[in-house]
Amino acid sequence: MESALQSPPQRNESTLVKFILIGFSDVPILKDFLLGVFLIIYVIILMGNSLIIIITKVDPSLQTPMYFFLGNFAFLEICYVSVTVPRLLTDLYRQDRSISFVACATQMYFFLVFGATECFILTAMAYDRYVAICNPLLYPLVMNSDLCIQLVVGCWTSGVPLHIGFTYWIFSLPFCGTNQLNHFFCDIPPVLTLACGDTFMIEMLIYMIALLVVTIPFILILVSYVKIVTTILKLPSATGRAKAFSTCSSHLMVVALFFGSGIITYLRPKSTHSAGTDKFLSLFYTVVTPTFNPMIYCLRNKDVMLALKKFLLRWIVL
């Protein structure tokens, strides 16, 4: 059945009903190993972020703007990885790797929306740390509950209308030739390689959206942390400097992994794209970063570790 789908070329949008996700089928010897690895990673992401959500809700000492953003970020990570990883696990387990045209568009849409939300929430978290460290006396006044809620709502909703139109435009393109998608999910670069005709305008739109959603937030985060580091270096207490650096370095590790791989993927010229490189880079912003986030935010944060210990002890006693 699969060969029958692959043999006739798809000449236009109306005849294209599904794609074949190649994924990691080009390394069949690693199929079972990858299935086990990605399954373990997915469970770690779900459990780690769920624990962060719970403790930031129930522990009184974590009822601050920083942990309000962290709780939202943890929930976002669960949504974000659930767009791609379950599908990846399914394709590794079964032989049929086909995905319908509508399902592919839906996956791309939610991936882009949650990806944009992550960029914005990381920026909001950097702003929160900037105010807390650089203007500590004004922090309770500036980062009030109303502003925090407005920032979070803005982060979650800003990318929704933009990516509806963007995804619709991509899947309105005529597709011709093979329907084999050399990737493990419906990302923009591999889908565009199957489009025929002039894609110049949509490529320019991709650069514009990447600039607005990825590059500008990344620059704002870097500016925030430059000011934060400058302020930290002026602190008289070595203990205070160490605590501030510990918190900021964990955020910067997340930012470097997530934004770095995303910028390379979406802002480099189309002529330099290759299926192997795209899949490798995609693993960083779809799997690797979400895996490390709970570990970074928990293991490098004494307040979170203390709250987690209290929470686990409470359940053990019960």
Q: What is the pLDDT of residues 59-109, one digit of tens each?
A: 888 899 999 999 999 999 999 999 999 999 999 988 788 999 999 999 999
Does the pLDDT value for residue 263 go beyond 60?
yes
Which pair of structure tokens corresponds to residue 217?
């937030």
Count of CB atoms situated within 10 Å of the CB of 102: 11
Give the domains, in start order, of the chain with CATH numbers: 2-317 (1.20.1070.10)
Confidence at 114, pLDDT banded by 50, 70, 90? very high
Question: How far is Cα 162 from Cα 80, in angstroms, rounded to an integer?
Answer: 18
Output the pLDDT for position 234: 81
Question: How far is Cα 163 from Cα 244, in angstroms, rounded to an integer?
Answer: 36
- Give the side-chain half-sphere CA count within 13 A for 110: 15
Output the pLDDT for position 270: 65
Nearest Cα to 226, choosing from 130, 121, 118?
Answer: 130
| Exposure letters 286-313 (e unless 16+ CB within 10 A, then b) | bbebbbbbbebbbeebeebeebbeeeee
**Residue 98 pairs with which residues in a beta bridge?**
20
Give CA angle at 191 (189, 192), nearest 5°.
65
Helix (H) or strand (E) holding 181: strand 180-181
Judge whether 6 and 179 are in contact, CB under 8 Å: yes
Nearest Cα to 221, choosing from 108, 97, 119, 135?
Answer: 119
Instruction: Give the chain's count of helices (H) and strands (E).
Output: 14, 3
Question: How far is Cα 304 from Cα 136, in angstroms, rounded to an integer?
Answer: 21
pLDDT tens per residue across span 33-59: 999 999 999 999 999 999 999 999 988
For residue 70, the one-letter residue type is L
Percent residues over pLDDT 90 in the chain: 40
Output the pLDDT for position 68: 94
Of 22-26, 161-165, 185-189, least confident by mean pLDDT is 22-26
**Residue 78 pairs with which residues in a beta bridge?**
none
- Give the side-chain half-sphere CA count within 13 A for 298: 22
Question: How far is Cα 200 from Cα 303, in angstroms, rounded to an integer?
Answer: 50
Q: What is the mean pLDDT of the chain?
A: 85
Give the contacts of 109 (CB within 8 A, at least 6 positions apart): 163, 164, 167
Does the pLDDT value for residue 301 go beyond 80?
no
Output the pLDDT for position 240: 65
